[in-house]
Amino acid sequence: MFSLPVKPLTAFTCLSSKPLNPPKCCKSQPQIERGLSFDVGDTFFRHESSTGRDLGVLSAAIYKKSHNALRVLDAMCGCGIRSMRYLVEADADFVLANDANHECGGVISGNLEKADREKKRWVVKHSDANRVLTECYLERDFFDLIDVDSFGSESSYLRAAMCAVKLDGLLYVTSTDGYSSGGHRPEHTLAAYGAYVKHMPYSNEIGLRMLIGGAVRRLLCWVIRHYSFISYCIQCGNSQAFSWGELGQMRCSCNNVPGSLIVSGPLWTGPLHSASFLTEMLNLAEQWGWTSNKTGKHLETLLKLMINESDPVLPFGYIRLDEISSRAKVNSPPLDSVLRTLHKEGYAACRSHIASNAIKTNCPMVDCVRLVKELQRCPDTDCGRMKRIGKKPVLVASPYGRWKDEESPVHATDNTGPSAGYLNSPKLNDG
C-alpha cells in the first residue's frame, strides 16, 4: 500500500459503462466473508486471500475517516468481492469495478446489487486494466484508492495506476512474481523496476523493496537517501548496504575473496511499513470485532508483526534460524529464545512477517552465531526479563530491542526510537 504526496482535490465525473448481461445461474455455492454473502460463479476466487482483502478494507476505511471521501477503482475485480466490501465495510462513495472478462458481468453486478440496490454508487466495466486506468487519467477522473489485484507481475500496471490515483491517495498492489524477486530474471527486474536483482536468502523482502522502489522513486526525490545497493556475503552471511559512490569498491570485512558478495540494487532500504497507520488498522479491526475468531487472530498477528518490523533501527532483510544454526553447527533453538537473548544483549529484534522461522535484527551474523552457540551451551540462561524484586517494576525487552518499563504505556508511532510494543510475540505467522 502506497500513499502519495498531497495535492488539491480534483473535480471528477463518473465513468459510464456498457449494458450488462443479465445474471446467469452461478455454478458455485454462495460464499460468506466477514458476514457478506456473495457468488463467485466461474470467476477465479481464493478464500485464502481474505486477509489481503481485510487489509485493503481497513486502509480504505481509515482513509475515508480522515478525508471524508472515498472513490475506489478495482481494476481486476474478479467476482467483485473486493468492490462489494469497499462499498459495505469502508462506506465508499463510489466504486468502479472492472474486469476484462465480459462473462463475469452478471456475477459482479449481482454481488454489488446486494451492497447498493439503487446502483448509484457503483459501475461495472469490462476492459483491459491499463486501458481503464489510462482513460481515468486522460479524463482527469482520479481515484482515492486503486486496487490492482494482479496475477503474476504487477509492473505493467504501475505507471498507469500511479497516474490515475489522487495525490494523497492509496495504491494497493498484489504481485505473485516470485520468479523475478527471487533473482532469476535480473534483466527483467532492471527493465521493469529499475533494479538489478539477484538471488538472496531474503528474496521475498527484496521483492517488496523492489516494488516500493518501482512505485515511489519518480515522485519522492528526497527518499534517495533510502536507496542503496544491498549485498549478501556467502562466506560469513552478513548483509550490508553500499551507496552509488561505493560501486566498484564493495567488499565484506570478513575477507577479500573475489565473488563472495551477491549484490542487488538500487533498492529501497527504508522502513517497509508505517507503524502509526498499521496501529490505526489494528484498532479499527478490534473495534469491528475482526480479531476474535480464527481468521481474525491471523489478521491480528500479521498486523502486530508488521508494527514490530516498523522499527527504524531494524535493517533490510531477515535471517532464518536455519542459516544461523547451520553456521553455528548446532541444532536450531526456539525462535523466542533467540529473540530474548538478542534483546538481553541490547539488539533490536523481532519476528519476520514473511518467514515464520526468521527474525529481523540489527545484530550482525557473526554475533548471531556466537549467541546461538552460547544459547546451546546454556539453554536455561536465555532470559530476556529481569525478575520483579519487591515493588520494583519489571524491565522487559521490547520488540524494538531496547529495554522498556512493563508498567509504562506503549504506543506506536512513526518517530525514531522505541514505540510500538507487543510483549508476547505470537506463535503463529502464516503471513
- Nearest CA to 146 out of 159, 108, 19 is that of 159
Which pLDDT score, from 0 to 100, does residue 414 have?
41
End-to-end Cα spacing for the chain: 16
Q: Tell me 227's DSSP state.
A: E
* CATH code 3.30.56.70 region(s) in the chain: 312-405
pLDDT per residue over 376-403, tens digit each? 887 655 543 333 333 333 333 344 434 3
Give the CATH number of domain 2-176; options: 3.40.50.720, 3.30.1490.190, 3.40.605.10, 3.40.50.150.
Answer: 3.40.50.150
* CATH code 3.40.50.150 region(s) in the chain: 2-176
d(CA 60, CA 9): 17
pLDDT per residue over 269-308, tens digit each? 888 899 999 999 999 999 999 998 776 789 999 999 999 9
d(CA 140, CA 15): 11
Please, which pLDDT band fits residue 188 given cuts at 50, 70 and 90?
confident
Q: Residue 242 has which C-alpha cell?
A: 553500499
Q: What share of the chain is helix, strand, coil (3-state, %, to 5)?
A: 35, 15, 45
pLDDT per residue over 260-269, tens digit each? 888 988 888 8
Which pLDDT score, from 0 to 100, does residue 416 have?
36
d(CA 169, CA 414): 19
Which pLDDT score, from 0 to 100, does residue 82 have?
97
Whether the per-residue pLDDT at 343 is higher than 60: the answer is: yes
- On whether the 312-405 domain is CATH 3.40.50.10070, my answer is no
Of 5-9, 70-74, 338-342, the least confident: 5-9
d(CA 428, CA 301): 7
Which pLDDT score, from 0 to 100, does residue 387 have?
37
Q: Which residue has the higher pLDDT, 118 or 59?
A: 59
- pTM, whole model, 2 decimals? 0.77
Q: Tell me 177's DSSP state.
A: -
Which pLDDT score, from 0 to 100, does residue 406 have?
37
- Residues 86, 92 contacting (CB under 8 angstroms): yes
d(CA 161, CA 26): 32
Give the largest CA-CA distance in the chain. 75
For residue 414, give the H/E element and its range: none
d(CA 415, CA 275): 9
What's the mean pLDDT in 7-36? Answer: 51
- Residues 344, 363 contacting (CB under 8 angstroms): no
Within 13 A of 287's CA, how many CA atoms are on the CB side? 10
Cβ neighbours of residue 268 under 8 Å, at least 6 residues apart?
A: 209, 210, 212, 213, 216, 223, 226, 227
